Structure formats: C-alpha cells, structure tokens
Structure 1
Amino acid sequence: MTTTAPAAPPRPARDARAALPPALRRARRRSAGLGLLAWLVGIVFFLPVAWMVLTSLHAETDAAANPPAVAASLTLDGYRTFFGSDGGPSPWPALLNSLMASLFSTVLVLALALPAAYALSIRRVKRWTDVLFFFLSTKMLPVVAGLLPVYLFAKNTGLLDNIWLLVLLYTSMNLPIAVWMLQSFLADIPVSIVEAAQIDGARLTTVLARVIAPIAGPGIAATSLICFIFSWNEMLFARVLTGVTAETAPVFLTRFITSQGLFLAQVCAASVVISLPVLAAGFAAQDKLVQGLSLGAVK
C-alpha cells in the first residue's frame, strides 16, 4: 500500500511580496503613498463644500453658533428664503441673467477663438508667437483698472443695467484664454488631414466645422466649460454695471449681507443653488473635460 506525501502548505503572501524586485516594491509603495496623498487633498478640498451644504441646512441661530452646532436639527428655511417664499425677491431673474450672459458669451468666444486658433496653429500667420503673447498680455491688466472706463462708456451709451453689455465684456475677457487653449489643442492635429480636406474642395468653414471641430471636440468642450465658469462667477463688472434688470446671480447673493448682519445659513443656501449649474455642467462634460485638459500630454 502506497502512501502519498501531504501537500505542501501554500506560501504566504508575504513571501510572494518579498520575491518582488526591490524597484517594483518601491514603485508600489510610492504609488500607494501618492494615492493616499491624492485622497487627503481631495478631502481637504471637499470639506469646505460639505460644510457649506451642512450650514445651509441649519437654522440661523445654529449656523452662527460658536463653536458650530454640527449636530443641530436640519431645516430648509434658508432655501425657502432664497427662493422668496417669505415674500422676498425672487432669484429666478438673476439666475436667468447669469445663464444668458454665460451661454451667449461662451458661444461668441468659441466662434471667434476657433478661427484664430486655426490661424495660429495649423495655418500659422507670420510672427504667430508675438500674436499669442499679445493675447496673453491682455490678461495682465488688473480688471479693476478698466472698470472706470467701461462704466463711463456704458453710461454715455445708455448700456447701464443691460445684459448685452455683460455678454460683450465676458466675451472680451474670456477670448484670450480661449485662443491660448484652443491653439494648444489644434497644434496636435496633423496638417495632412486639413490638406486632404482642402484637396477634396472643402472650404475653410467646412474644414472648421467638419474636420477640426470633431477632432478637437474634447478641447473645445474644456474651453467652453472654463469660459462658462468664468462668466458665471464674475461679479465685479456685474455689481457696478447692473442694477435690477440685468442683475446676475453673484450680485443677487450679496443681498444676504446687510447692515443687520450676515445671514450665514441663507448665504450658504444661495451659494449652493448658484453653484449647482456649474457643477452640473462640469459633471455632464467631465469626460470631455479630462480628455481636453490632457490632450497632447502623451506623445
């Protein structure tokens, strides 16, 4: 009668890790450390947003308590006040004004920046680097330095409290950064594709609409989202140049800071509502945004 030897016990996972090359073990530890650091940074950036949302759900007395009453009862009074349920002003005109100014200015920026980026990247004009530097230099002027001339121009032309003035201002403010971004995206497009389309008889508008735009779609989406965010968040010009008719959402937010004090819960509720369109747009276009911002990073 023959007997079989018992099976050898499996090696522990520690032995398998020890058998790895030292360089691979260091790489894994470095990757784990970077992952932990990324989580910590993400939590640090998320905490103010979470605190704002939690404060918006508290009563004013609990929101102003020191130390903060984290476990206080939740209520929607701040949101009811923001939407005018207690007889206050409605925020919908201000929200619609912000949406209108942001959307129209973003469309105008893309319509002007795409041909300019085409001329600076694919069919490069003479001294194109100087042109790019000129676009960048326009962003070096402090915004407040141009406030008085713009105000005097708007006053003399009757454009005060006019939403179309904000559309033109946001277009001019976002155009340089849009040209810079689109130029870097379009520079990665092979010129042979454009030349093949032109050989087939495609005109410039056809090349831009049917060849350049589909290829550079992620870059265009990233540029449009950034321009939309900049326009939505702008408050200095909107605060000075608008009154009641063209009031935007950031200006409406300042109504909750009065001489009677700071209504913290109401301000946080208004901030949450005003931030939702930007968050929704970013979430809807997050794949295009990541592709656009990383376009050209790997050669």
Structure 2
Amino acid sequence: MTATAEASRTAAADTASRTRRKRSGAVLGVVAWIVGILFVLPVVWMLLTSFHSENDAATNPPSFFAPLTLDGYANFFGAATGASPWPPLLNSITASVLSTALVLLLAVPAAYALSIKPVKKWTDVLFFFLSTKMLPVVAGLLPVYLIAQGIGMLDNIWLLIVLYTSMNLPIAVWMMRSFLAEVPGEILEAASMDGCNLTRTLRTIVMPIVLPGIAATSLICFIFSWNELLFARVLTATVAQTAPVFLTSFVTSQGLFLAKVCAAAVVVSLPVLIAGFAAQDKLVQGLSLGAIK
C-alpha cells in the first residue's frame, strides 16, 4: 500500500508539473504574440497610410476604411514632383553592397587571427575595436567633412563606401570572432596535416562552416549602411544622394505630407525586407550559432 501510494503521489506530481509547464508555455506564447504584434503594428499602419489620400491620412482619429489610392506612390516615383528616386536608390544599393563586401573581406581574416589563431593580447585588440564605437558619430562629423572637402570627395559615393566600411568593421569583427571561435580545432589540424595553406583553409573549410554567421553579419552591416542618414545628409548633395536623404525631401516647409512620406518609407524599406527574407534561414542559424553546445 505504501509503494502504491508513493507511486500515485509521484504520478500526481508529474501531472501537475506538466500542467504548470503547459500553462507557462501558453502564457509565454501569448506574450510573444503580443510583443510581435506591437512591433509589426507600426509597419502595418505605415503601409495602410501609404494607400490613403493626404486628406484621409491627416484625419484625427485616423480613418481605417478610407478609399485606397496609389497617389502617394505616384508622387514618390516623380509623377507629381519631377524628382526621380532611382539615383538615390542606386546610390544606397551601391554604398551598402560594396561597403558590406569590404567589411567581410577585412573582418573575416581579422576575426580568424583573434579566434582560431589568436594574436598576443587579443582581448586588448577587441577592446580597441569596440572603443571606436564609443565616440558619438556627430563628434566626428566636422573633421570628416573638412577632410572630404580638402581632398575633393564631397558628394562622392566612394566617400560613403569608405565611411560605412569603417563604421561597420568593428561590429563585424566582434560578430565573426564569436562565430569563428566555434570552428572545431581538430578540423583545422587535419587540414594543416593535409597541406592546406591559410587561404585554402579559409576558403574551403572555415567559410562553409561559418556561412550562417557570415550571412547574419553581412545582413546587419547592410541594414546599418542602408539606414545611415547623418553622414549622407551632410556629405552629399545631388550626385551621391542616398535613399534616406531623398526620403527627408518629402518633409517640406509646406508641411508634412503623411501619405507621401509613408509611401516613400515603404519603398525605401523594401530592399532591407527582401534581403532579410532571402537570408532568413541563414540569419537564424547565424544568430544562434554557438548558443547551444
């Protein structure tokens, strides 16, 4: 009887524990859905507003069921203003893609030296990389402007590429260092015994293993470059104008045209959204790489 009663109590305790876990899981699921909706709601609201007329977009309280129109997108693509968005969009794509490629080209060997083949005082090196992000961006704006003016690089897309590369490189080195630290040393030792040099080891062994980490790093650097406004606003005019700078031109002295701004914001956000969806699997793998041993 004692053994039977003990078994019954144990079974009841297990059932109660499973019930508590299910309830806590359901609560966490509801909280996650609420947080996700709160993050997505502004984007959905921006998208809906972009399909409204200016009068409907400016109503207070807002009109959810107002007639839909494409006037905001027509204005963005120059039908009403005469300003084409294609040069700024192409400038943003050029600066973001080339700077991201340069960042990866420099960050992967640096992270390799700081993780797999660590140099002396590698922690000091990492702190130095991180310390470059401690200075407020606006503090370096005037010196950069004077240097660019002195060498004749104002309103030049290559100046933005160099700046975006230098701004994203510390973050990329820190991220790639954590990803490369997860590469098994036995694989590298076997490759060395087989006669692989450093270049071949990086290309054929290390790169495929850390490909999710490279995808995550490149996407974050691309987003930071694409969204950068301060340097692009001050250092460019018409030739090298980027999409965020072009977006600010919709806020004029005549007032804020909400529908046109929302339509422009939707179009400018599309490349980042497309890149995120395209690299979604690799991004999740890269951000979780090393989290579970």
TM-score, scaled to structure 2: 0.95
Aligned pairs for 1:144-293 (under 5 A) are 144-293=138-287
| C-alpha separation in 2, matches of 1:298 and 1:26 | 25
1:101-126 Cα offsets, whole Å, 9 max, x none, are 00000000000000000000000000
Q: Secondary structure at the match of 1:75?
A: coil
Match in the other structure for 2:136: 142
Deviation at 1:86, TM superposition (A): 2.3
Comparing 191-200 with 128-137, which one deviates more in the overlay? Answer: 191-200
Deviation at 1:249, TM superposition (A): 0.1
Identity within the alignment, %: 71
| C-alpha separation in 1, matches of 2:215 and 2:245 | 27
Task: Give the letter aligned to residue 265 of structure 1.
Answer: A
Task: Give the letter aligned to residue 22 of structure 2.
Answer: R
Larger Rg: 1
Q: Secondary structure at the match of 1:21?
A: helix
Q: Secondary structure at the match of 2:249?
A: helix
Task: Give the letter aligned to residue 94 of structure 2.
Answer: M
Deviation at 1:44, TM superposition (A): 0.5
Match in the other structure for 2:5: none
Comparing 266-275 with 205-214, which one deviates more in the overlay? Answer: 205-214
Aligned pairs for 1:68-87 (under 5 A) are 68-87=62-81
Task: Give the letter aligned to residue 61 of structure 2.
Answer: P
Query: Structure 1 residue aligned with 2:124, among 120, 130, 133?
Result: 130
| C-alpha separation in 2, matches of 1:79 and 1:52 | 13
Task: Give the letter aligned to residue 94 of structure 1.
Answer: P
Task: Give the letter aligned to residue 212 of structure 1.
Answer: V
Match in the other structure for 2:98: 104
Deviation at 1:23, TM superposition (A): 1.0
| C-alpha separation in 1, matches of 2:216 and 2:201 | 21
| C-alpha separation in 1, matches of 2:195 and 2:268 | 47
Runs of 4+ in 1 over 6 A off after TM superposition: none
| C-alpha separation in 2, matches of 1:39 and 1:142 | 35
Query: Structure 2 residue aligned with 1:47, among 35, 41, 52?
Result: 41
Comparing 46-55 with 190-199, which one deviates more in the overlay? Answer: 190-199
Deviation at 1:19, TM superposition (A): 9.2
| C-alpha separation in 2, matches of 1:233 and 1:87 | 24
Length, aligned pairs only: 283
| C-alpha separation in 1, matches of 2:180 and 2:280 | 20
Q: Secondary structure at the match of 2:173?
A: helix
Q: Secondary structure at the match of 1:230?
A: helix
5+ residue gaps, structure 1, are: 1-17
Comparing 198-207 with 113-122, which one deviates more in the overlay? Answer: 198-207
Comparing 213-222 with 61-70, which one deviates more in the overlay? Answer: 61-70
Task: Give the letter aligned to residue 218 of structure 1.
Answer: P
Deviation at 1:57, TM superposition (A): 0.3
1:67 correspondence with 2:61:
yes
Query: Structure 2 residue aligned with 1:90, among 67, 70, 84?
Result: 84
Task: Give the letter aligned to residue 243 of structure 1.
Answer: A
Deviation at 1:193, TM superposition (A): 1.0
5+ residue gaps, structure 2, are: 1-11
1:197-245 Cα offsets, whole Å, 9 max, x none, are 1221211111111111000000000000000000000000000000000
1:131-161 Cα offsets, whole Å, 9 max, x none, are 1111111111100000000000000000000
| C-alpha separation in 1, matches of 2:209 and 2:199 | 15
| C-alpha separation in 1, matches of 2:224 and 2:238 | 22
CA spacing shift, 1:190–1:68, aligned 2, 3 Å: same
